[in-house]
Amino acid sequence: SQQGEEDPQALSIQEGENATMNCSYKTSINNLQWYRQNSGRGLVHLILIRSNEREKHSGRLRVTLDTSKKSSSLLITASRAADTASYFCATDPHDYKLSFGAGTTVTVRA
Amino acid sequence: GAVVSQHPSRVICKSGTSVKIECRSLDFQATTMFWYRQFPKKSLMLMATSNEGSKATYEQGVEKDKFLINHASLTLSTLTVTSAHPEDSSFYICSARGTSGSNEQFFGPGTRLTVL
Protein backbone atom coordinates (compact mmCIF):
# COMPACT_ATOMS: atom_id res chain seq x y z
CA SER A 1 0.00 0.00 0.00
CA GLN A 2 1.13 3.54 -0.63
CA GLN A 3 2.50 5.12 2.50
CA GLY A 4 4.43 8.19 1.51
CA GLU A 5 2.58 11.34 0.66
CA GLU A 6 4.42 14.14 -1.01
CA ASP A 7 3.92 17.81 -1.43
CA PRO A 8 3.83 19.79 -3.48
CA GLN A 9 2.49 17.70 -6.34
CA ALA A 10 4.18 20.00 -8.81
CA LEU A 11 6.87 22.62 -8.57
CA SER A 12 8.11 25.07 -11.20
CA ILE A 13 11.27 27.03 -10.54
CA GLN A 14 13.85 29.10 -12.35
CA GLU A 15 17.25 27.63 -13.05
CA GLY A 16 19.57 28.40 -10.18
CA GLU A 17 16.84 28.41 -7.56
CA ASN A 18 16.44 25.80 -4.87
CA ALA A 19 13.67 23.21 -4.93
CA THR A 20 12.23 21.72 -1.77
CA MET A 21 9.77 18.88 -1.56
CA ASN A 22 8.36 17.06 1.42
CA CYS A 23 7.30 13.53 2.17
CA SER A 24 5.18 12.29 5.05
CA TYR A 25 4.60 8.69 6.03
CA LYS A 26 2.52 6.78 8.52
CA THR A 27 4.30 3.76 9.98
CA SER A 28 7.74 3.14 11.44
CA ILE A 29 10.53 2.75 8.93
CA ASN A 30 13.97 1.24 8.59
CA ASN A 31 15.02 3.84 6.06
CA LEU A 32 13.63 6.35 3.59
CA GLN A 33 14.85 6.74 0.04
CA TRP A 34 14.49 9.36 -2.64
CA TYR A 35 14.34 8.55 -6.32
CA ARG A 36 14.20 10.54 -9.53
CA GLN A 37 12.27 9.51 -12.62
CA ASN A 38 12.54 11.19 -15.96
CA SER A 39 9.43 10.99 -18.12
CA GLY A 40 8.79 7.45 -19.31
CA ARG A 41 11.96 6.11 -17.75
CA GLY A 42 12.97 3.96 -14.81
CA LEU A 43 13.93 5.20 -11.38
CA VAL A 44 17.30 6.54 -10.38
CA HIS A 45 18.26 6.15 -6.75
CA LEU A 46 19.31 9.48 -5.26
CA ILE A 47 19.85 9.03 -1.56
CA LEU A 48 19.00 6.75 1.34
CA ILE A 49 18.64 8.01 4.87
CA ARG A 50 18.39 5.60 7.77
CA SER A 51 15.93 5.98 10.59
CA ASN A 52 18.70 6.96 13.02
CA GLU A 53 20.00 9.70 10.74
CA ARG A 54 18.67 13.25 10.65
CA GLU A 55 20.37 14.75 7.63
CA LYS A 56 22.32 13.56 4.66
CA HIS A 57 24.03 15.29 1.76
CA SER A 58 24.95 14.13 -1.70
CA GLY A 59 26.26 16.76 -4.10
CA ARG A 60 23.50 19.33 -4.54
CA LEU A 61 21.02 17.19 -2.65
CA ARG A 62 20.17 17.53 0.99
CA VAL A 63 17.75 15.19 2.72
CA THR A 64 16.37 15.54 6.20
CA LEU A 65 14.42 13.03 8.23
CA ASP A 66 12.28 13.70 11.27
CA THR A 67 11.01 10.40 12.60
CA SER A 68 9.01 12.09 15.35
CA LYS A 69 6.97 13.88 12.70
CA LYS A 70 7.26 11.02 10.23
CA SER A 71 8.44 13.35 7.53
CA SER A 72 11.36 13.93 5.21
CA SER A 73 12.41 16.68 2.88
CA LEU A 74 14.54 16.78 -0.24
CA LEU A 75 16.30 19.98 -1.16
CA ILE A 76 17.92 20.44 -4.54
CA THR A 77 20.20 23.46 -4.55
CA ALA A 78 21.17 25.55 -7.54
CA SER A 79 18.76 23.71 -9.80
CA ARG A 80 19.54 22.98 -13.43
CA ALA A 81 17.33 22.22 -16.40
CA ALA A 82 18.50 18.60 -16.17
CA ASP A 83 16.88 18.35 -12.74
CA THR A 84 13.47 18.47 -14.42
CA ALA A 85 11.89 15.15 -13.42
CA SER A 86 9.50 13.53 -10.97
CA TYR A 87 10.85 12.86 -7.51
CA PHE A 88 9.54 10.10 -5.29
CA CYS A 89 10.14 9.24 -1.69
CA ALA A 90 9.96 5.59 -0.74
CA THR A 91 9.79 4.15 2.74
CA ASP A 92 11.26 0.82 3.72
CA PRO A 93 9.32 -0.52 6.72
CA HIS A 94 11.89 -3.18 7.71
CA ASP A 95 10.92 -5.74 5.08
CA TYR A 96 12.55 -4.17 2.01
CA LYS A 97 9.15 -3.67 0.39
CA LEU A 98 9.32 -0.07 -0.69
CA SER A 99 6.18 2.03 -0.46
CA PHE A 100 6.27 5.00 -2.79
CA GLY A 101 4.76 8.43 -2.42
CA ALA A 102 2.73 10.08 -5.15
CA GLY A 103 5.70 12.08 -6.33
CA THR A 104 6.55 15.69 -6.97
CA THR A 105 6.96 16.84 -10.55
CA VAL A 106 9.70 19.44 -10.76
CA THR A 107 10.10 21.70 -13.78
CA VAL A 108 13.22 23.84 -13.97
CA ARG A 109 12.86 26.75 -16.40
CA ALA A 110 15.94 27.94 -18.21
CA GLY B 1 26.60 0.98 -9.79
CA ALA B 2 24.55 -2.14 -10.25
CA VAL B 3 22.62 -2.45 -13.49
CA VAL B 4 19.22 -3.95 -14.01
CA SER B 5 17.81 -4.41 -17.48
CA GLN B 6 14.30 -5.08 -18.70
CA HIS B 7 13.16 -6.54 -21.95
CA PRO B 8 11.25 -5.54 -23.93
CA SER B 9 11.22 -1.81 -23.27
CA ARG B 10 7.95 -1.43 -25.10
CA VAL B 11 5.33 -3.93 -26.23
CA ILE B 12 1.99 -3.62 -27.96
CA CYS B 13 -0.27 -6.63 -28.06
CA LYS B 14 -3.80 -7.64 -28.85
CA SER B 15 -6.35 -8.26 -26.15
CA GLY B 16 -6.30 -11.88 -24.98
CA THR B 17 -2.64 -12.54 -25.65
CA SER B 18 0.04 -13.14 -23.02
CA VAL B 19 3.12 -11.01 -22.66
CA LYS B 20 6.36 -11.90 -20.91
CA ILE B 21 8.64 -9.25 -19.45
CA GLU B 22 12.18 -10.10 -18.36
CA CYS B 23 14.14 -8.45 -15.60
CA ARG B 24 17.86 -9.15 -15.36
CA SER B 25 20.51 -8.08 -12.90
CA LEU B 26 23.57 -7.69 -15.10
CA ASP B 27 26.46 -7.45 -12.73
CA PHE B 28 25.23 -8.78 -9.42
CA GLN B 29 23.20 -11.60 -8.01
CA ALA B 30 19.72 -10.65 -6.90
CA THR B 31 18.14 -12.83 -4.26
CA THR B 32 15.02 -10.71 -4.33
CA MET B 33 13.33 -8.91 -7.18
CA PHE B 34 10.28 -6.72 -7.01
CA TRP B 35 7.69 -5.94 -9.65
CA TYR B 36 5.91 -2.60 -9.71
CA ARG B 37 3.19 -1.12 -11.83
CA GLN B 38 2.88 2.56 -12.60
CA PHE B 39 -0.08 4.33 -14.22
CA PRO B 40 0.50 7.64 -16.04
CA LYS B 41 1.47 10.45 -13.68
CA LYS B 42 0.99 8.15 -10.72
CA SER B 43 3.23 6.49 -8.21
CA LEU B 44 4.66 2.99 -8.29
CA MET B 45 2.53 0.28 -6.78
CA LEU B 46 4.25 -2.88 -5.60
CA MET B 47 2.71 -5.93 -7.25
CA ALA B 48 4.81 -8.78 -5.94
CA THR B 49 8.05 -9.84 -4.37
CA SER B 50 10.02 -12.54 -6.13
CA ASN B 51 12.60 -14.65 -4.33
CA GLU B 52 14.93 -16.92 -6.26
CA GLY B 53 13.76 -20.50 -6.18
CA SER B 54 10.50 -19.91 -4.38
CA LYS B 55 7.01 -18.71 -5.14
CA ALA B 56 6.38 -15.03 -5.47
CA THR B 57 4.52 -13.13 -2.77
CA TYR B 58 1.74 -11.01 -4.18
CA GLU B 59 0.38 -7.80 -2.72
CA GLN B 60 -3.27 -7.54 -1.82
CA GLY B 61 -5.48 -7.10 -4.84
CA VAL B 62 -2.96 -8.47 -7.35
CA GLU B 63 -4.17 -11.60 -9.14
CA LYS B 64 -1.43 -14.20 -9.08
CA ASP B 65 -3.02 -16.16 -11.92
CA LYS B 66 -3.08 -13.03 -14.02
CA PHE B 67 0.46 -11.91 -13.31
CA LEU B 68 2.73 -14.94 -13.30
CA ILE B 69 6.14 -14.39 -11.79
CA ASN B 70 9.10 -16.70 -12.11
CA HIS B 71 12.49 -16.15 -10.50
CA ALA B 72 14.41 -19.10 -11.86
CA SER B 73 17.93 -17.81 -11.27
CA LEU B 74 19.77 -15.20 -9.23
CA THR B 75 19.90 -12.88 -12.23
CA LEU B 76 16.54 -13.32 -13.92
CA SER B 77 12.91 -12.81 -12.99
CA THR B 78 10.03 -12.82 -15.45
CA LEU B 79 6.56 -11.35 -15.26
CA THR B 80 3.95 -12.79 -17.59
CA VAL B 81 0.73 -10.89 -18.05
CA THR B 82 -1.73 -13.60 -19.08
CA SER B 83 -4.73 -12.94 -21.29
CA ALA B 84 -3.96 -9.25 -21.32
CA HIS B 85 -6.75 -6.70 -21.54
CA PRO B 86 -6.66 -2.94 -22.19
CA GLU B 87 -6.87 -2.23 -18.46
CA ASP B 88 -3.54 -4.05 -18.05
CA SER B 89 -1.86 -1.34 -20.12
CA SER B 90 0.69 0.25 -17.85
CA PHE B 91 4.37 0.83 -17.15
CA TYR B 92 5.89 -2.18 -15.42
CA ILE B 93 9.12 -1.70 -13.50
CA CYS B 94 11.25 -4.27 -11.75
CA SER B 95 13.88 -3.77 -9.11
CA ALA B 96 16.51 -6.05 -7.68
CA ARG B 97 18.10 -6.30 -4.30
CA GLY B 98 21.53 -7.82 -4.05
CA THR B 99 22.95 -10.43 -1.73
CA SER B 100 25.25 -8.11 0.16
CA GLY B 101 22.64 -7.12 2.70
CA SER B 102 22.39 -3.57 1.42
CA ASN B 103 19.01 -1.84 1.65
CA GLU B 104 19.37 -0.36 -1.81
CA GLN B 105 17.22 -1.57 -4.68
CA PHE B 106 18.29 -1.12 -8.26
CA PHE B 107 15.55 -0.38 -10.75
CA GLY B 108 15.17 -1.47 -14.33
CA PRO B 109 14.25 1.04 -17.04
CA GLY B 110 10.67 -0.17 -17.22
CA THR B 111 8.47 -1.81 -19.84
CA ARG B 112 5.59 0.05 -21.45
CA LEU B 113 2.75 -2.39 -22.15
CA THR B 114 -0.10 -1.32 -24.40
CA VAL B 115 -2.97 -3.74 -24.91
CA LEU B 116 -5.21 -2.98 -27.85
For A17-30, how does the pLDDT look when each residue is reduced to its tens digit (9 = 90+)?
Answer: 999 999 999 988 98
Q: What is the DSSP letter of A83?
A: G
A97–B contact, CB cutoff 8 A? yes
Helix (H, G, I), strand (E, B) or coil at A81: helix
Write down the pLDDT at residue B41.
80
Burial class for A106, CB neighbours closer than 10 Å (0-12, 13-18, 19+) = buried
Task: List the single residue in A with minimal CA-CA distance to B57.
Answer: A97
Over residues A47-78, the pLDDT tens digits come to 999 999 999 999 999 999 999 999 999 999 99
pLDDT score, position A6: 83
Residue of B nearest to A96 (CA): B103
Percent of chain A residues past pLDDT 90, beyond the cut: 75
Judge: A98–B110 Cβ closer than 8 Å, yes or no. Answer: no
Q: How far is A69 from chain B (nearest CA, A)?
A: 22
d(C-alpha B24, C-alpha A71), whole Å: 33
**Sites in chain B below the pLDDT cut of 50:** none
What dihedral angle (degrees, nearest 10) is formed by the CA atoms of A21, A27, A31, A34?
Answer: -30
Residue A10 has pLDDT above 70, yes or no: yes
